[in-house]
Structure 1
C-alpha cells in the first residue's frame, strides 16, 4: 500500500486501540514508539553497514561485550546513542508471548543512560512522556503488555529501511499528528499548525531565502516542529545541500518539546543541525549557552527566518521588560495579551536581511493602548511587509479568524501589502482548509506585491498614517459581495439596464459580437432577444474562436507531460518537477483571458499529490512496480478479534478499473448489461405486486410476506397448486406467481453469472497487469497521470460558459415581469376570485361577509 493508505490504516487502528484514553495523551505514546522504532532500525542499518549480521548483532551488541567486538562506543560516537540487542524494537517484535511491558520500561531507561554526552541536548529525556504514560495503557501488567504489543506490531508496518522511507515516515507522523489534533479539541493548538498554513508560511519564507548556501531557521513556539520542518523542506528545493540548514526550536510544554525533537530527528536532519530548548520563550530568551561551557557555547541567535504560531492573546508578566532588548525599541505588550511580545521576540532574532511569518489574532491590527503604540512603531520603523487575512475556523481548537503577518528587519519599500484571503478555502470535516490554489495565489501575491480587486492592495504609509495606524483589513480591502440592486424604470417598464450589463464587460471584450446577438437595446435599456441563451452563446463565432484558441494553447500539453513525468519517472526530482509543471501551466494561461489559472493549478495540484506517491514508489522499486499486483488486505472481525485477511488483489501503482476500461472493455460491457438486467428485476416484482388487489393478496397470502410487499418464493409452487383447482377464476393469479418465480430464477442465474464474471475478470486483470509491455505501462501512466489533468483543465472553458449563460438568463428574467404586469395579474386574480365567491351559498351572516369581501376585491 502507498503511504496514504498505510497512514490511514495506522490511524484507524490506533484510534480504536486508544479506547478511552484522550487523543491528546495517546498521541504521545504512539509517536514515542514510532520514534523508538526509527532509532532502533537506524542503529541496525548502521550495524549491517559495518559488517554485522543478525547473529553477530545478537551476540555482540550489548553493554558487556569485549571491547574487540563492542559497538557501544562506536554507535554513541556515530549515532549519538546506543541500544543493546535485547532492547531493539525488532527484538521486542520477535519475542512473541515472552514480551512484556517491562521490556519497554527497561529499554527506555537504558536508552536515556546510554546517550552520548555530545548528543544530550537532542536525546536526553526524549522518552519521558512515553515512559511515564505506559501505566495508563492498562490497569495491570497483563493489560498494559497487550496494549503495547498491539501498538508496536501496528507500528512495525512502517518501513524505515531506505532513503525514500524518510518521506513515508514523515508523512505518516504528520498524518497522525493532524488526526490527533482534529480529535484533541482546544488542546490541539498546543502542538499542531495545520499543514496547509504551515506550507503557506514556508513558501513565503523559502521564496525570500532563495540563493543562500547556509540558512538558520527558528521557531520559538515549536509545538510538534512541523512549521520548522516544512520551511526546511521547502527551502531545500532551492539549495544544493539541505544539510546546510540549521534548525532552532524552543517549546514550553515538555511532552510537546519531545515531539519537536522526535520530528526533527526522524526527518533525517543531522543532530548537529538541531538546537532545541525546553523553556518559556518570553521569560527564558536566548542567548543560548551550555552551562558546562558558557563562554565557548555562547550564541546570541540571529537567524535568517523565524516562523511561529504562538498561543493567541495569552496572559504574561511584562514586569521589568522595558529594558529587555527585544522590546525596548517598540514597547511592551499588555499583560492580558502577549501577541506582540511573541512578535517582537521573533523580530529581534532576525538577521538584517531575514524574514519572519507569525500567526496572530485579528485584534493585533486595530487594538489600541500599548498594542496600538507597538503597531505604530513597527509601521514607522518599516518592519511590516504584508498582512494576510485567513479564513475563519482554519485552526483546530478555535474558530476565530486569524492573520499571518510577514515582517522584515530591513525593506526597500515603505508600503504594506494587505491581502484578504478569507474567502478562499474548502470545507474539510468541521474545519476549513486552504487549497493548493489558495496557497499559490497568496504566495504569488506576496512575491509580486500585486493589487487584485477585492483581494489585495498595496497600501502607502501615508494612508496608514491617515487611518491612525489602524491596519484592520476591511479598511483597505473590501472583499464583500455586492448587494443586488433593482432599477426602478426597468422594474416598471421592463428591459435590462445597460449599467447592469456592464458587469459582463470582460466577456463583451473577448466576444465582441455576442452582446448584440443576446440583446436588442436603445443605449440605456435592452431586451433579451433569444429564448435559448445557452445555444446562442455556444453558437457564437467569437466564443468558438476563444475555445479553439484555448485548446490550441494546450495542444502539446500531453506530450510535454509525458516527456516530463513518464520518460524521467525514475530519476526526476519530484518537488522541482512539480514546480516546473506548475510554472508551465501558468505560462500557458498568460495568453488566455476570462479563465482563472489558479483553478487549473488546483486541478493539477490535486492530481499531482497522487502522482508524487506513484513516483516515490517507482523511484524506490523501479518501473517494474507499475506491473506489480499486491494482495488486497482487509480487516474482518472473527470471534470478536480484528483479523487481517486477503480479499483479492490490487495494483501496486495502477488501479484495476483503469486497466479494465482500457484493455477489457468487452468484458466490462457484458458484465454491465447483466448487472442492468439484475438491477431491473426488483422493479418487476413491484409491478406484479401493484397489479394485485387486496383480495388477490389475501388469496395468495402464503406466497407473500407478512406485510404483503414481497414474494416468499419457496411457497409459490404450493400456492399455485392450490390455485389450479379453480384454474379459470385464478388464471391471472397463477400467471403472476409463475412470472415472479421465473423472475426469481433469472435473478439467481444473473447473480451467479455476474459474480463469476467479476471473479474471472479480476484474475484476468491480475494476469494482464503482470504481463504489461513497456508501451502499455507508458500508456496507462499517461491515462492515470496526464489525461486526467488535461481533461480537467480543458473543461474550465465549459464551466465558465455555463456560469456565464446562467448569469445572463437570471439577468434576462430579472425584469421580464414588470410592476405593471404584476398589477394586472393581481387585478385579474381578484376579479376571478370575486366571481367565484358569488357562487357560494350559506347563512345570511355568511353571505353578508362574502359580499363585503367581494367589495374589497373590487367585485360588484
Structure 2
C-alpha cells in the first residue's frame, strides 16, 4: 500500500505513521503528551475533510465540466465546507492562526448538522498560553506536507494510521488511556467471541474512540461478509472521546453509524422510533470499572426498566448497572452481549449477589472468561469477559462455561498482551465448550446450574476450575484495588493542598 505526500511521492504505511507521530511531537514542550490527542486528531480530520473535498470537486469537474452546478456538486460532497473555511484558508493566515482555525472548525461543524456535531472537540485554539502559535503552525505545517484523500490512500491506510496514533497516545497517557482506548488484542478477542454477522446492529454504550465498532467491521469483512450492511451505534460521555470515535469511523471509510454524546445511565440516547431503547444483535463494551455516583437514585425509577430483576446496583459501584443496561438493549431473538469486567462482579455480595443469581437463573449468562493480568492501561487488576446470550444453545441451557485463560499472554514492559495464537486458542475452546484441564495454557469447564447454586452463585472461576486459586484471586484483586485507592487518595490530597494554598491557607 502507498500514499502520496503533497509533492506526489509515495509513502509506506510505516512512513505515514512516522510522519504523523512527528507531527504530534511538534507539540512537545508546551503540551503534555497525554493531551496530544485533543489537538492532533482535529487537525488531522480537518486536513482529511479538506483534501477529500478537493478530490470530489476534481471528479465533479471531470464529469460535468462547465455544466457543473452547486446542486450537482453537492451530490459529490459528503461534507460542506463553508467559504473561507478550507485547509488552504487557514494555511494562508499570517497571524492569529489559532483563532482562524477555531472559527473554521466551528463553521464546518455548523454546516454539517447531524454528521459532524462536536467532531472537533472543545479546544480553545486561540489560547496562546496553552498552545503557542509556533507549536500550532509547526503542527499545521507537518500535515500540510500530506495529501489525505481517497485518491491518495490505498485501502484502510489512514484508518490504520489513526489506530497507530491512538496506541501511541495511550502509551503517553498512562492510566488516562482507559478513558478512550482498549488494547486491540482484547477487542479482537471479544469481537471474535460475539461473532458479528452481516446485517447485525452493533452497539457500544461506552464506546470510547469506537475501537470495538471498527473491529466489528474488520471481523465481518475478514469473514467475507459485507460490513456495509452493519448498523453501528455508540454512546460516550466525554466530549473529546466521542469526537475521536466519530473521526475514527469516518477515517475508516464508514458512514452508517450513529455516535451520540451523553450519560448512558441518566440519558440513554440510542432509541427506536417509539422512544424505547433500541435493541441490538451485538452489544459490546469495556466500560469504566467500579464507577461511583453513577445514578443509582435515577435507576430506581428508570423509565426504561433497566434494573434487571427489580434490583438496583450499589450507589458506589456501577459495574452491574452496565451489565443491566447492556442486557436491556440486547435483541430478544439472537442477541449477544460481551463486556469486560473486574473479577469482583463474580463474587461480591449484597445487591450484586442478587443480580448475579438472577442472571444465572435466567439462562442469559453463557460464559465467564478470566483474562491474563495487566492487559490494560487503566488498571492492573484481574479482569474477565462476561458473555450473555438471549438464547443459548440447547447444550448450554442451565449451564455456564468457565474459562481460565490467565496463562495465555506475552509479557511486556508496561502491559502484557495476547497474540493471535492466544486469541485463536481461547476462541476455539469457547466455541467447543469441551472440558480442558490445562492444555495449551487453558482450563475450562461447562458447569451445571445445580453446582453454581450450591456455591451460592459465586462465579469465581477458581471455584469451578481450580478450587485452590479462588481465595488467591480475591486477595490479588483486593491488594491491587487497595493500591489504586491509595493512589487516588494521594492525588486528591495533593489537589486539596494546592487549592488551600491558592486560597491563602497554609498546607
TM-score bracket for the superposition, by shorter chain length: 0.7 to 0.9
Q: Deviations over 1:377-424 (max 9, x none)?
A: 000001111111111111113211111111111213221111111112
CA distance in 2, matches of 1:393, 1:133: 37
CA distance in 2, matches of 1:111, 1:378: 47
CA RMSD after TM alignment: 2.7
**2:341 is equivalent to residue 363 of structure 1:** no
CA distance in 2, matches of 1:137, 1:245: 44
Q: Deviations over 1:796-839 (max 9, x none)?
A: xxxxxxxxxxxxxxxxxxxxxxxxxxxxxxxxxxxxxxxxxxxx
Q: Alpha carbons of 1:321 and 1:297: their partners in 2 closer, same or farther (altered >3 Å)?
A: closer
Higher mean C-alpha deviation, range 399-408 or range 316-325: 316-325
Q: Alpha carbons of 1:134 and 1:433: their partners in 2 closer, same or farther (altered >3 Å)?
A: farther
The equivalent residue for 1:279 is: 262
The equivalent residue for 1:329 is: 309
Deviation at 1:98, TM superposition (A): 7.9
Q: Confirm or deny: 8 A CA contact 2:51 2:147 kept in the other structure.
A: no
CA distance in 2, matches of 1:386, 1:108: 46
**2:185 is equivalent to residue 196 of structure 1:** yes
Q: Confirm or deny: 8 A CA contact 1:184 1:397 kept in the other structure.
A: no
Where do 5+ consecutive residues of structure 2 fail to align? Answer: 1-10, 470-507
The equivalent residue for 2:248 is: 263
Q: Confirm or deny: 8 A CA contact 1:308 1:358 kept in the other structure.
A: yes
Q: Confirm or deny: 8 A CA contact 1:166 1:267 kept in the other structure.
A: no
CA distance in 2, matches of 1:287, 1:430: 36
Deviation at 1:163, TM superposition (A): 8.1
Q: Confirm or deny: 8 A CA contact 2:283 2:326 kept in the other structure.
A: yes
Deviation at 1:103, TM superposition (A): 3.6
The equivalent residue for 2:194 is: 205
Deviation at 1:69, TM superposition (A): 6.0
CA distance in 1, matches of 2:375, 2:128: 32
Secondary structure of the 1:123 match is coil
| Aligned residue runs from structure 1 range 671-820, under 5 A | none
Deviation at 1:152, TM superposition (A): 2.5
**2:323 is equivalent to residue 340 of structure 1:** no
CA distance in 1, matches of 2:297, 2:89: 54
Q: Alpha carbons of 1:77 and 1:135: their partners in 2 closer, same or farther (altered >3 Å)?
A: farther
**2:127 is equivalent to residue 135 of structure 1:** yes
- Which of 185, 193, 199 is matched with 2:174 structurally? 185
Q: Deviations over 1:348-405 (max 9, x none)?
A: 1111211111011100000010000100000000111111111111111321111111
The equivalent residue for 2:498 is: none
Q: Alpha carbons of 1:283 and 1:198: their partners in 2 closer, same or farther (altered >3 Å)?
A: same
Q: Confirm or deny: 8 A CA contact 1:420 1:479 kept in the other structure.
A: no
CA distance in 1, matches of 2:241, 2:100: 25
Deviation at 1:266, TM superposition (A): 1.5
Q: Alpha carbons of 1:163 and 1:444: their partners in 2 closer, same or farther (altered >3 Å)?
A: farther
**2:156 is equivalent to residue 167 of structure 1:** yes
**2:160 is equivalent to residue 214 of structure 1:** no
**2:79 is equivalent to residue 81 of structure 1:** yes
Q: Alpha carbons of 1:478 and 1:4: their partners in 2 closer, same or farther (altered >3 Å)?
A: farther
**2:373 is equivalent to residue 384 of structure 1:** no
Q: Alpha carbons of 1:13 and 1:378: their partners in 2 closer, same or farther (altered >3 Å)?
A: same
CA distance in 2, matches of 1:162, 1:479: 59
Q: Alpha carbons of 1:371 and 1:78: their partners in 2 closer, same or farther (altered >3 Å)?
A: farther
Q: Confirm or deny: 8 A CA contact 2:55 2:151 kept in the other structure.
A: no
CA distance in 2, matches of 1:174, 1:463: 44
CA distance in 1, matches of 2:434, 2:257: 37
**2:120 is equivalent to residue 110 of structure 1:** no
Deviation at 1:20, TM superposition (A): 3.9
The equivalent residue for 1:150 is: 138
Secondary structure of the 1:14 match is helix
Q: Alpha carbons of 1:134 and 1:306: their partners in 2 closer, same or farther (altered >3 Å)?
A: farther
- Which of 433, 453, 456 is matched with 1:465 structurally? 453
CA distance in 2, matches of 1:46, 1:479: 63
TM-score normalised by the chain length of structure 1: 0.49
CA distance in 2, matches of 1:13, 1:282: 38
CA distance in 1, matches of 2:287, 2:251: 24
Q: Deviations over 1:496-554 (max 9, x none)?
A: xxxxxxxxxxxxxxxxxxxxxxxxxxxxxxxxxxxxxxxxxxxxxxxxxxxxxxxxxxx
CA distance in 1, matches of 2:435, 2:180: 35
Where do 5+ consecutive residues of structure 1 fail to align? Answer: 61-67, 290-295, 482-860
Q: Confirm or deny: 8 A CA contact 1:302 1:349 kept in the other structure.
A: yes
- Which of 462, 465, 468 is matched with 1:477 structurally? 465
**2:124 is equivalent to residue 124 of structure 1:** no
Write 1 or 2 for the structure with the bigger share of helix: 1
**2:287 is equivalent to residue 310 of structure 1:** yes
CA distance in 1, matches of 2:308, 2:233: 24
Secondary structure of the 1:428 match is coil
The equivalent residue for 1:500 is: none
Deviation at 1:451, TM superposition (A): 1.9
Higher mean C-alpha deviation, range 234-243 or range 462-471: 234-243
CA distance in 1, matches of 2:100, 2:249: 26
Q: Confirm or deny: 8 A CA contact 1:122 1:274 kept in the other structure.
A: no
Secondary structure of the 2:416 match is strand
Deviation at 1:300, TM superposition (A): 3.2
**Aligned length in residues:** 446
Secondary structure of the 1:277 match is strand
CA distance in 1, matches of 2:154, 2:122: 26
- Which of 421, 425, 428 is matched with 2:405 structurally? 421
Secondary structure of the 1:227 match is helix
**2:288 is equivalent to residue 288 of structure 1:** no
Q: Alpha carbons of 1:427 and 1:331: their partners in 2 closer, same or farther (altered >3 Å)?
A: same
Q: Alpha carbons of 1:450 and 1:330: their partners in 2 closer, same or farther (altered >3 Å)?
A: farther
The equivalent residue for 2:425 is: 441
Greater radius of gyration (CA): 1
| Aligned residue runs from structure 1 range 482-631, under 5 A | none
Q: Alpha carbons of 1:76 and 1:403: their partners in 2 closer, same or farther (altered >3 Å)?
A: farther
CA distance in 2, matches of 1:137, 1:38: 27
Deviation at 1:240, TM superposition (A): 4.1
Q: Deviations over 1:722-757 (max 9, x none)?
A: xxxxxxxxxxxxxxxxxxxxxxxxxxxxxxxxxxxx
The equivalent residue for 1:516 is: none
Q: Confirm or deny: 8 A CA contact 1:205 1:231 kept in the other structure.
A: no
TM-score normalised by the chain length of structure 2: 0.81
Deviation at 1:195, TM superposition (A): 0.9
CA distance in 2, matches of 1:380, 1:136: 59
CA distance in 1, matches of 2:285, 2:248: 16
Q: Confirm or deny: 8 A CA contact 2:271 2:278 kept in the other structure.
A: yes
Secondary structure of the 1:432 match is coil
Deviation at 1:193, TM superposition (A): 0.6
CA distance in 2, matches of 1:309, 1:51: 46
CA distance in 2, matches of 1:70, 1:18: 45
Q: Alpha carbons of 1:253 and 1:393: their partners in 2 closer, same or farther (altered >3 Å)?
A: same
